[in-house]
Chain A
Amino acid sequence: MPETITLLINGRSVTVPEGSVVSTAVALSGATVFRRSVTGERRAPLCGMGICFECRVTINGWPHARSCQILCRDGMDVRTDE
């Protein structure tokens, strides 16, 4: 069992401890903005517990993934709205 996971955040390679959620990897990559609101505001996680939907990112091409409750997997391609 690997102890770390390596994934892509906006094209940049990030390595995190196994068991980390995607929002952690995004934060570690240095990105502050996770998504843009419907009127274009920059947004980042608010609640930390999976109910605010501000942590949504696109994972492997599929949008609206709540990154704070999705475990990182090797090779994931994560994109935020910049």
Chain B
Amino acid sequence: MCEPMNNPRHNYDVLVIGGGPAGLAAAVCATQARARVAIVDDNFGPGGQIWRGEHRQAKSPEAAEWLNRARVKQVEFIGGARVYDQPEKGLLLAEMFDGALELRYRKLILATGARELFLPFPGWTLPNVTGAGGLQALVKSGLPIEGKRVVVAGSGPLLLAVAAYLLKRGAEVALIAEQAPLKSLLSFGLGLWRAPGKIIQAISLKRELAGVPHIAGCWPVAANGEERLQRVKLRRGRKTWDVICDYLACGFHLAPNVELAIFLGCEAPDGVVLVDEFQRTTVPDVYCAGEATGIGGLELSLVEGQIAGLAATDQWEKARALFAKRRKLQLFADLLNRTFALRDELKTMPQPDTIVCRCEDVSFAQLEKQPAWRAAKLHTRCGMGPCQGRICGAAIEFLLGWRPESARPPVFPVKVRSLIQDITPTAGEGK
């Protein structure tokens, strides 16, 4: 006989999925209405990606502020838990290492954040080629990087933050290669007047990174090495050259995590969750805040999270009071996304035999033969592996223009036993 899943039951007024800035802000604001609030996150501590590990020791004042407020307001944090199914309205299932959890809620706030956008190029599957945020996360989790030579490449402000972090941890950052053209970066710099806090950040980053070459209009064309990465070939204009390195931290900006929202029925055209002014999705009682509604940076996530938390607990006036600030930050977000838009030349990075789907080893040539996503999935297995297109999906949309389809359960791979409902319901629980 197989065991029924371990079913501790949890009932919340407001359930927040994602413990990054947006989720923390939402949860804290929801507690202002004396709601019973919990945050669910697959990481072991709150903070999401940007504040990873800072619950033990905060590095930035905002992290300290929000993590502390969440603690003080007694927001329950359920870590190491990944949501994978919604068997009925008002009930989510999350899997932990030892079993599954039933989470009941009246209002749901999705603060699922974003992931890095990966683009394939020859050799990108070699060990020690990682995402930019990916390498930062790995180092924060204990990967030794002191004395190692790192090339940081791809696109987005994340590259600078990663490079600065790696330097602090004793790595040698050989260079930062940003695909956006120099003139875009200069406009971005000029556009920072809209967000004075960002200018200070930018200046301090510039100081930290003094001595590290920062090259615009530059991107990787190949990663090479026997058994692991040994060098990267970069291109700028017509010039290509090799850089010897131990790690290539490469990510092309961010893509919103919308799988759970889509699974729950939220409309998400163009790959971002659609929300109204109160951060309400198209599904009743489901809100969404932060990068999942569109990449916009830390401060916008914090404001959106606050509005969602306030709206979910009917604190409408307080929510409205934040609209102006959100509007301003959205202008910055628009500038951000325009600046780091991916150039067409990146579509020439993959060669015919470059692997695009890493789970199933499907090459670019195999994909190009297919007419659309579903045909590609069925006939090449692309996107049918455990990551379910989370790594290759955005790349394929960029390279071939195909929009991924709706999500089927489980939203994330889980043990089979997590899909088997209780054999004996507890007394008093109707189903």
A–B contact, 8 Å CB criterion (strictly below): yes
Identify the A interface with B (CB < 8 A): 16-17, 19-21, 23-24, 27-28, 32-34, 37-39, 41-54, 64, 68-71
Contacting pair A24 B358 (CB below 8 A): no
Q: Does B280 have its Cβ within 8 Å of any Cβ on chain A? A: no
A sample of 15 more A-B contacts (CB under 8 A), given A53-B387, A54-B358, A68-B138, is: A21-B142, A23-B143, A24-B141, A24-B143, A28-B144, A37-B358, A44-B130, A44-B228, A46-B130, A47-B131, A47-B134, A48-B133, A49-B133, A50-B43, A51-B391
Describe B's contact surface by its main secondary structure: loop
Contacting pair B144 A27 (CB below 8 A): yes
Q: Does B54 have its Cβ within 8 Å of any Cβ on chain A? A: no
**Roughly how many angstroms separate A68 CA and B118 CA in the complex, as a whole number?**
18
Q: Which of B334-370 contact A (CB under 8 A)?
A: 355, 358-361
Identify the B interface with A (CB < 8 A): 42-44, 49, 80, 82, 97, 115-116, 118, 125-131, 133-138, 141-144, 227-228, 355, 358-361, 385-387, 390-391
Contacting pair A53 B385 (CB below 8 A): yes
**Given A51-B390, A52-B390, A69-B43, A32 and B142 touching (CB < 8 A)?**
no
**Roughly how many angstroms separate A34 CA and B135 CA in the complex, as a whole number?**
16
Contacting pair A47 B141 (CB below 8 A): no
**Roughly how many angstroms separate A48 CA and B42 CA in the complex, as a whole number?**
12
**Given A48-B135, A48-B137, A49-B134, A19 and B44 touching (CB < 8 A)?**
yes
Contacting pair B142 A24 (CB below 8 A): yes
Contacting pair B127 A44 (CB below 8 A): yes
Q: Note all chain A residues with C-beta closer than 8 A to B143.
A: 23-24, 27
Q: Note all chain B residues with C-beta closer than 8 A to A54.
A: 358
Contacting pair A32 B138 (CB below 8 A): no
**Roughly how many angstroms separate A29 CA and B142 CA in the complex, as a whole number?**
12
Which of A45, A48, A52 lies in contact with B136, CB distance below 8 A? A48
Describe A's contact surface by its main secondary structure: loop
Which of B97, B126, B360, B387 lies in contact with A51, CB distance below 8 A? B387
Which residue from chain A places its CB closest to the CB of B251 in the assembled complex? A47
Q: Note all chain B residues with C-beta closer than 8 A to A24.
A: 141-143
Which of A16, A41, A47 lies in contact with B391, CB distance below 8 A? A47
- Chain B proximity of A16: nearest CB distance (Å): 7
Contacting pair B361 A41 (CB below 8 A): yes
Interface centre among B44, B82, B136, B358 (most CB of A within 10 A): B358
Could you jot down 7 A-B contacts, CB within 8 Å? A32-B127, A49-B133, A49-B134, A51-B387, A53-B385, A53-B387, A54-B358
Which of A23, A43, A47, A64 lies in contact with B115, CB distance below 8 A? A47
- Chain A proximity of B218: nearest CB distance (Å): 21
Contacting pair B141 A48 (CB below 8 A): yes
Contacting pair B138 A43 (CB below 8 A): no
Which residue from chain A places its CB closest to the CB of B128 in the assembled complex? A44
Contacting pair B130 A48 (CB below 8 A): yes
**Roughly how many angstroms separate A53 CA and B355 CA in the complex, as a whole number?**
15
Which of B43, B82, B129 lies in contact with A46, CB distance below 8 A? B129
Q: Note all chain B residues with C-beta closer than 8 A to A46.
A: 118, 129-131, 134, 358, 391
Interface centre among A23, A46, A52 (most CB of B within 10 A): A46
Contacting pair A71 B141 (CB below 8 A): no
**Roughly how many angstroms separate A80 CA and B127 CA in the complex, as a whole number?**
13
Contacting pair B44 A43 (CB below 8 A): no
Q: Note all chain A residues with C-beta closer than 8 A to B227.
A: 32-33, 42
Going nearest first, the 7 A-B pairs with the smallest beta carbon separation are A48-B137, A24-B142, A44-B127, A48-B134, A39-B361, A53-B386, A48-B138
Q: Note all chain A residues with C-beta closer than 8 A to B355.
A: 37, 41
Contacting pair B80 A71 (CB below 8 A): yes
Contacting pair B142 A48 (CB below 8 A): no
**Given A52-B391, A71-B80, A71-B97, A45 and B142 touching (CB < 8 A)?**
no
**Roughly how many angstroms separate A24 CA and B142 CA in the complex, as a whole number?**
5
Contacting pair A51 B125 (CB below 8 A): no
Q: Note all chain B residues with C-beta closer than 8 A to A37.
A: 125, 355, 358, 361
**Roughly how many angstroms separate A52 CA and B42 CA in the complex, as a whole number?**
14
- Chain B proximity of A30: nearest CB distance (Å): 10
**Roughly how many angstroms separate A16 CA and B142 CA in the complex, as a whole number?**
9
Contacting pair B80 A48 (CB below 8 A): no
- Chain B proximity of A66: nearest CB distance (Å): 9
Which residue from chain A places its CB closest to the CB of B115 in the assembled complex? A51
- Chain B proximity of A42: nearest CB distance (Å): 6
**Roughly how many angstroms separate A50 CA and B80 CA in the complex, as a whole number?**
11
Which residue from chain B places its CB closest to the CB of A70 in the assembled complex? B97
**Roughly how many angstroms separate A45 CA and B360 CA in the complex, as a whole number?**
16
Q: Note all chain B residues with C-beta closer than 8 A to A64.
A: 386
